[in-house]
């Protein structure tokens, strides 16, 4: 039995059956989000019974960002009766436990923290969800062809941004306690497990973890030299501005704000102010009232997406806003591949100024 006094990085052995039982107990007092197959698609979804969980290490089609930053979120409700107007703050959120989070998704959460928690003013809505959430990670035992987390500081067994970390062995799971939050979940919900001899367990885990040679990632200072290149127009020719890349991305976080009106009841008009995901690859993203659009071309918009991830976001908030999950590569209907852009910028950046002017 693990207690909250467990030291960090001790490893325990847990059976899937005991994990399932544990999750069922957690689920009775917190919202549990775990892998679930929905219409043949693997997603992070709220589950009400551990039997709904898909026990897999495959990468879900969508990231876990919506647990903190929902696609559509109510900011507040407004009630109007004549000229009397009341703004009602949205309900506080309850505790939630994310189970089976991939290292790339946890790294995405960390990247969002830099903007929403660590840059003043903190975003109230993100912050309260973040504080109410415990993250149980699961290491990947395989990498999809499009995965490149090892090129952007991540790894299939990266536990840095988890509260608890699981690794699947052959007939049991290995469990590591990473943070106090993780330890506190274990003390509230005891989990049947056995303490392992750390060194040999760590060796065993290592044998399950896939590796991949890193692709070429440009240095941050390499980016500006590529800004004015005709490359962006060429590579974006096939882009259809559908924005699926931002939808599946664990770090894309731009939003739109609008009001939603409901039919009035007894003379009281009720509407919600909501925010919803938006993406800089959309055609009207920067268009202002009156029609001026400073980013009318697809090349400019796609360039902004890549520059944001690797140049603007790190300059503004610190972390790179790409975790190498590869989802945008798989989701793009026309084959736009961020790793091609990375390779272009890296190669261009390695040219001397003289070579570049002749290129």
Partner 1 sequence: MADNGSNPLKPDLGYIAEVKDLGAEIKLFSVKLLNGGSEQFNYYHPGQFAFLSAFGIGEAPFGIASTNERSDLLDFAIQRLGSVTTGLHEMGEGDIIGMRGPLGNCFPMDRFQGKNLIVLGGGIGGAPLRPVIHTVIDHRQDYGHFSILWAARHPSLLVFTDEYDDWGSAPDTELHLTVDQPDTKWDHNIGLITDLLERVAPSPENAITITCGPPIMIHFVNKMLVEKFGFKPEQNYVTLEARMHCGIGKCGRCNLGEKLVCVDGPVFNMEEVGQMLESYL
| Residue numbers at the binding site for partner 1 (CB under 8 A) | 75-76, 78, 80, 83, 85, 87, 89, 115-116, 119-125, 224, 227, 253-259, 261, 269, 271, 273, 275, 278, 280, 285-290, 292, 294, 304, 307-308, 311-312, 315-316
We find the least distance from the C-beta atom of residue 93 to partner 1, in angstroms, to be: 14
Choice between 288 and 359, CB closer to partner 1: 288
Choice between 40 and 290, CB closer to partner 1: 290
Choice between 194 and 256, CB closer to partner 1: 256
We find the least distance from the C-beta atom of residue 337 to partner 1, in angstroms, to be: 23
Return all residues near 144 (Cβ < 8 A) that are at least 6 apart: 58, 59, 326, 330
We find the least distance from the C-beta atom of residue 75 to partner 1, in angstroms, to be: 5
We find the least distance from the C-beta atom of residue 295 to partner 1, in angstroms, to be: 8
Choice between 12 and 116, CB closer to partner 1: 116
We find the least distance from the C-beta atom of residue 280 to partner 1, in angstroms, to be: 7
CA distances from 32 to 35, 149, 216, 318 (A): 10, 26, 38, 31
- Cβ atoms within 10 Å of 150's Cβ, excluding its own: 18
Estimate the crossing angle of helix 124-131 against helix 103-116, to 10 degrees: 140
Give me 356's structure tokens. 């570049």
**Residue that has been written with the tokens 């960090």 in this structure:** 8
Choice between 192 and 273, CB closer to partner 1: 273
For every residue of 268-284, DSSP letters joined together read EEEEEEEEEE--TTSTT
For every residue of 293-340, DSSP letters joined together read -S--SHHHHHHHHHHIIIIIHHHHHSS-S-----HHHHH-TT---HHH
We find the least distance from the C-beta atom of residue 289 to partner 1, in angstroms, to be: 4
Choice between 6 and 74, CB closer to partner 1: 74
């Amino acid at each position: 039995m693990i207690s909250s006094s467990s030291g960090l990085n001790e490893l325990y052995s847990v059976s899937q059956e005991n994990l399932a039982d544990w999750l069922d107990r957690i689920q009775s007092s917190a919202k549990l989000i775990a892998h679930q197959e929905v219409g043949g698609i693997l997603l992070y979804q709220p589950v009400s019974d551990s039997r709904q969980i898909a026990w897999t290490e495959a990468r879900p089609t969508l990231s876990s960002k919506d647990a903190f930053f929902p696609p559509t979120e109510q900011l507040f409700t407004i009630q109007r009766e004549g000229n009397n107007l009341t703004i009602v703050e949205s309900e506080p959120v309850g505790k939630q436990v994310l189970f089976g989070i991939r290292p790339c998704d946890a790294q995405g959460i960390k990247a969002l923290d830099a903007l929403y928690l660590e840059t003043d003013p903190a975003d109230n809505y993100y912050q309260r969800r973040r504080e109410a959430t415990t993250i149980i990670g699961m290491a990947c035992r395989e990498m999809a062809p499009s995965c490149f987390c090892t090129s952007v500081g991540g790894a299939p067994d990266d536990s840095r941004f988890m509260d608890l970390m699981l690794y699947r062995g052959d007939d049991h799971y290995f469990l590591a306690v990473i943070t106090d939050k993780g330890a506190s979940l274990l003390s509230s919900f005891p989990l049947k497990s056995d303490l392992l001899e750390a060194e040999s367990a760590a060796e065993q885990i290592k044998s399950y973890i896939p590796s991949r040679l890193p692709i070429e990632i440009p240095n941050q200072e390499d980016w500006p030299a590529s800004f004015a290149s005709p490359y962006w127009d060429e590579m974006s020719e096939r882009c259809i501005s559908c924005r699926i890349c931002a939808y599946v991305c664990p770090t894309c976080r731009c939003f739109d704000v609008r009001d939603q009106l409901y039919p009035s009841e007894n003379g009281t008009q009720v509407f919600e102010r909501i925010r919803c995901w938006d993406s800089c690859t959309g055609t009207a993203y920067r268009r202002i009232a009156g029609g001026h659009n400073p980013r009318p071309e697809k090349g400019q918009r796609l360039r902004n997406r890549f520059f944001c991830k690797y140049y603007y976001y790190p300059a503004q908030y610190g972390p790179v806003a790409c975790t190498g999950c590869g989802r945008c590569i798989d989701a793009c209907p026309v084959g736009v591949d961020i790793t091609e852009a990375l390779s272009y910028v890296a190669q261009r950046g390695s040219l001397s100024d003289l070579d570049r002017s002749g290129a």
